[in-house]
Amino acid sequence: MISGPSLLVDFILRTCGVEDIKTLVSEKWEEDTFAFNLPNPNSAAPQLSFTRVISESPNSNKKSDTVTYYTTPRVGLDLSHATAKPEAKNPRIQFVQRPYRFLVEPHLLKVNGRPQTFIGLLHHAEEKLRVVSWPYSQMDKSRILQNIASIGGFSSSVTRNYLQHYETGIKGGSAKVASFCRMQGVTQSVEKLLQMFGALRAAYAM
């Protein structure tokens, strides 16, 4: 299991038997960082390429031809920067919750980014179960929480607590967003982070 871009880079370097990116590019890849086939059919094959991913279900010994990718907000982002303002066009407001983190086995990620994983799986569950409105009915809430717990490896008590924090943020709306702008330490608090995500959703339909 590789979690995070820095650890991915470390894995690639170890696999290629080099200690830094400069050596990887200059010696192993001979300065070729182009991942697509070149227009000239007579040119050499690129050092980098895309390949089909075959997943192995955690509940089966059989391999599947398809992989489900889950997206979540980036880990470590909040609205603490001095430029953050509670405005829809503010770059911090727009960027903080964008789903730029990609997972294939969220149930294995038990340490970092669990609130962000919850948010990503919440949106996934809403789409999969066709739940388009908030507040949720009790039936929809139960279905969503079961789906998140199953895919993400969360306990039922954790999913309930996480959703409660998220809904508190939704109820707070734009005023709640303003309270998080320039606030320090939000990423260290599960409660505050989930409330921030909920408030952003309510205020700016994110």
Q: Find residue 71's DSSP bridge partners.
A: 102
pLDDT of residue 171: 94
SS3 of residue 203 by DSSP: helix
pLDDT value of residue 69:
87
Q: How distant is the alpha carbon of residue 158 from its chain centre?
A: 18
What is the pLDDT at residue 111? Answer: 82
Q: Which pair of structure tokens corresponds to residue 44? A: 């050499």
Query: What is the distance between the alpha carbons of residues 59 and 69, in angstroms, rounded to a whole number?
Result: 17
**pLDDT under 50 in the chain at which residues?**
57, 60
pTM: 0.80
Tens of pLDDT along 7-17? 989 999 999 99
What's the pLDDT score for residue 163?
A: 97
pLDDT at 64: 55
Separation CA 16–CA 74 (nearest Å)? 28
Exposed/middle/buried for residue 107 (C-beta within 10 Å: 0-12, 13-18, 19+) = middle
Report the pLDDT value the prediction gives residue 82, as an integer from 0 to 100.
95
What pLDDT is recorded for position 39? 54
DSSP for 67-132?
---EEEPPTT--S-STT--S-TT-HHHHHTT---EEES-GGG--SS-HHHHHHHHHHHHHHHTT--
Provide the pLDDT for residue 172: 93
